[in-house]
Amino acid sequence: MAARWGEITVREVASAMGGKIVSGPPDTPLSGLSTDSRALDPGQAFLALKGERYDGHDFLSAAVKGGAAAVIVETPSTVPQVVSAENVAAISVRSTLEALGDLALWWRKQWQGRVIAITGSNGKSTTKEIAASILFLEANIKKSPGNYNNLIGLPLTILSLKGVHQAAVLEMGMNRPGEIGRLTQIADPHIGLITNIAQAHLEGLGNLQGVVEAKAELLETMSSHATAILNGDDERYAELAPRFSGRKITFGLGSMNEVRAENIRKVGDNAQAFDICLAEERIRVRVRLPGIHNVLNALGGAAIAYGLSLSNGSITRGLEQFVPLKGRFQVTRLNGDIRIIDDTYNANPSSLGAALNTVQELRSEKQGLIVGFGEMLELGSQAPQLHRDAGRLIAETGTRYLVALGEHGAQIVEGACEGGMDKAQTHLATSHGEMIDVLKAQVREHDIVFLKGSRRVFLDKVVDDMKDFLGINEESSDAV
């Protein structure tokens, strides 16, 4: 590829961004780009992003002191006093966020590898990791780290691509219209996958149809020479499929899907085995993931490999070697034959329903169920009713005790009582510490303690404290 950090210059970066060099040497080579003055390496360009709670322009001096070779700004008036005494270039752009995307798009056009883009309401991170686990066996890949799935994280991932990389597995998230379309424009994927459509990010999208339209931006922006992979079981499939004119692969449990699962069986608390049917071929796999929703995530990863014509052996090995992500329905056996289920990475109404179904699959008659549930964020005006619905759903599982936390915790409790739970079986906590104290007081031998909430509710703190309190049963382990 022509673009290589250490060789490209201030002039080339400014041109790619549509920016103007307002001071400093234009032919200075740049070793990289950073949006964080604290993590910047000498020789990199510092891009001053503006956020809701910060403005990167306030950290220009820190970036220059840290060795920045160039700064990229929206307000050139902040530059002179910062760089005048240093040999630092300054590039002015209309919007640093748009400039970041434009630079990544320019970089992407010069890179010759395959790009896989994954979006959806639930399961996109797990599907991304599964796909990467499979592709890693046949290619040098780059995947989106952590939650680098937005208009900042995805461009930064693309800008880290090097000539040695043969494929990139990118996650795409959004909370308002237009974001998926812009991310797709930047990434120009060869394969685009939508895991499912569900009630999520309603605050920015309004309703479920808004979610459909936002996710469909992937299909509408991709090249017709690309391949779309869609969940054939999703009730919105018929609405999504016509949005793309190129090759389509479906995955799911239904017999009409090109990639489907059959003969599913549970293997301990944390794993399951099943057959994957790939057109006319069949392979037997095992994955360290419980629940039907994770079968679908595994099928999505397998469908990506199938679309890339990877070997069945790589699909099998990649699935078996996959290590689940923290906070995605991880079951841990504690002393007293107690199981704690950590599903604290995120929450929306659909993912709650899928998780509770899996809890019921794992649960025996002698096991009581205690639920610690944090609120679901970004649901907009529908949040109160959706939290009541969540409480009602929790009650329908036969939950013995519920502890709710968050701004909409009261609606969760109200819904649980409407669903048949006695008020004495519920508690509205005002802090993590209070939730922990109540859970400790309520837990009994053989119980299942299920914890779930949106990421910013930080219920992982509760999980860690309960594990410390009860102690992990080191003698029990599940075969995979």
> Over 60: is that where the pLDDT of 476 sits?
no
> Over 50: is that where the pLDDT of 65 sits?
yes
pLDDT-derived band at 3, boundaries 50, 70, 90: confident
The pTM for the full model equals 0.91
Sign, Cα dihedral of 38, 41, 46, 51:
negative
Query: What does the pLDDT look like over 264-314, one tens digit per residue?
Result: 999 988 899 999 999 889 999 999 999 999 999 999 999 999 999 999 999
- Asked if 154 contacts 142 with a C-beta cutoff of 8 angstroms, the reply is no
> CA-to-CA distance for 268 and 361, rounded, in angstroms?
11
> CA-to-CA distance for 21 and 96, rounded, in angstroms?
14
Query: What does the pLDDT look like over 170-220, one tens digit per residue?
Result: 999 998 999 999 999 999 999 999 999 987 777 777 888 988 999 999 999
Task: Provide mean pLDDT across the span 398-421.
Answer: 97
Nearest to 180 by CA among 136, 139, 231, 240: 240
CATH code at 10-95: 3.40.1390.10
> Over 70: is that where the pLDDT of 412 sits?
yes
* 340 DSSP β-pair partners: 332, 449
> CA-to-CA distance for 86 and 105, rounded, in angstroms?
30
> Over 70: is that where the pLDDT of 85 sits?
no
> Over 70: is that where the pLDDT of 477 sits?
no
Please give the share of the chain, as a percent, with pLDDT higher than 70.
Answer: 97
Neighbours of 417 (CB within 10 A): 18
pLDDT of 84: 64
> Over 50: is that where the pLDDT of 467 sits?
yes
> CA-to-CA distance for 242 and 219, rounded, in angstroms?
9
Query: What does the pLDDT look like over 11-42, one tens digit per residue?
Result: 999 999 999 999 999 999 999 999 999 999 99
pLDDT of 475: 66
Question: Helices 292-307 and 124-135, interaxial angle, to 10°?
Answer: 40
User: Per CATH, the architecture of 330-470 is what?
Assistant: Alpha-Beta Complex (3.90)
Query: Is residue 360 helix, strand or coil?
Result: helix
* Domain residue ranges in the chain: 10-95, 111-321, 330-470
pLDDT of 75: 82
> CA-to-CA distance for 271 and 286, rounded, in angstroms?
7
pLDDT of 364: 87
pLDDT-derived band at 480, boundaries 50, 70, 90: very low
Residue with tokens 């210059």: 9
Neighbours of 342 (CB within 10 A): 23
What DSSP line would sit under 257-315, residue for residue? -SEEEEEEEEETTTEEEEEEEETTEEEEEEES--SHHHHHHHHHHHHHHHHTT--HHHH
CATH superfamily of 111-321: Mur-like, catalytic domain (3.40.1190.10)
Query: What does the pLDDT look like over 370-405, one tens digit per residue?
Result: 999 999 998 989 999 999 999 999 999 999 999 999
